[in-house]
Amino acid sequence: MSDERTRRRFLRRLLAAGGAALLGGCDQLSTTTWVPAALGSAEALNRRLQRLITPRRAMAQEFGPADLSPTFRSNGTANPDDAGYQALAANGFADYRLEVGGLVAQPAAFSLAELRALPSRTQITRHDCVEGWSAIGKWTGAKLGALLERVQPKPEARYVVFYCADPMDEAGTKYYESIDMDDAWHPQTILAYELNDAPLPIANGAPIRLRVERQLGYKMAKYVMRIELVADFAAIGGGNGGYWEDQGYEWYAGI
């Protein structure tokens, strides 16, 4: 056999073996239940590939104090145009209550003091916005997992939905977002109340904003007023799991 034929046969075998290994991985993953039927097949494939490459429980990169951006810019809403929110802000958020309900055994409402009393985490991470900018900030907040332990999700709960204070259009459609239970229980997923060792500024989502560090910026809901656990989000907003998702962004924004 010529060298060239030997080489081609070797390449074919290598490709066949690699392809089979990849398919094997995808097959295994597709038997799990978390891929929502509503997702387009291309996006579902993206998610499966992402999970092959990076295990869901892997940590996002963390940085040191020397890496902090001089300022952490504000993007999207910088001050919600909402009377209820403005009244809360005028009183230093003393009357703020984070309502948590839906598919939970123990619905509850948390004051800021109660959120600050939950197990917390501080992390210096990089925020990546799809609009093409990044910033490194230091975030402190209650671990979402600790809050979930308090309200006890029912077994049928598959997503956590975050309802925000800020209207996005003339009709008053408010910002909202959702994540799955893998991201909800992830140790770096926090309800942040501090940025760079100071109370979270209004421009960055006061009094509470989500940090879900393995995802793009638009998943990190600011001005969170209410949390709901659901089995699916087809009946919420435009049915795509978030304000920007309803405008065409992907629901799964893993980085």
Ligand X SMILES: Nc1nc2c(c(=O)[nH]1)N[C@H]1C(S)=C(S)[C@@H](COP(=O)(O)O)O[C@H]1N2
CB 215 within 8 A of CB 254: yes
Report d(CA 51, CA 147) in Å as an integer.
Answer: 26
Site string for Mo ion, 187-206 (x = CB under 5 A): --------------------
Site string for Mo ion, 107-146 (x = CB under 5 A): ----------------------x-----------------
Site for ligand X in 202-221 (CB under 6 A): 204-205, 217-218, 220-221
Interacting stretch for Mo ion, rule CB under 5 A, among 28-36, 79-87, 158-166, 209-217?
209-217
Residue keyed to tokens 């209550």 = 97
The yes or no reply on residue 140 touching ligand X (CB under 6 A) is no
Residue keyed to tokens 């995808």 = 26
Least distance in Å: CB of 145 to ligand X?
21
Site string for ligand X, 74-103 (x = CB under 6 A): xxxx--------------------------
Letter for the amino acid at 111? S
State residue 92 phi and psi, 5-degree precision: 60, 25
DSSP labels, 206-234: TT-EEE-TTB-GGGS-SSEEEEEEES--T
The yes or no reply on residue 244 touching Mo ion (CB under 5 A) is no
If 0-12 CB within 10 Å is exposed, 13-18 middle and 19+ buried, where does residue 152 land?
middle
The yes or no reply on residue 217 touching Mo ion (CB under 5 A) is yes
Q: How many CB atoms lie within 10 A of CB 56?
A: 15
Query: By three-state DSSP, how is residue 133 classified?
Result: strand
Site for ligand X in 176-205 (CB under 6 A): 204-205
**H-helix or E-strand spanning residue 30:** helix 3-30
Q: Using CB under 6 A, which of 26, 29, 45, 129 touches ligand X?
A: 129
* Interface with ligand X (CB under 6 A): 73-77, 129, 164, 166, 175, 204-205, 217-218, 220-223
Residues that bind Mo ion (CB under 5 A): 129, 217-218
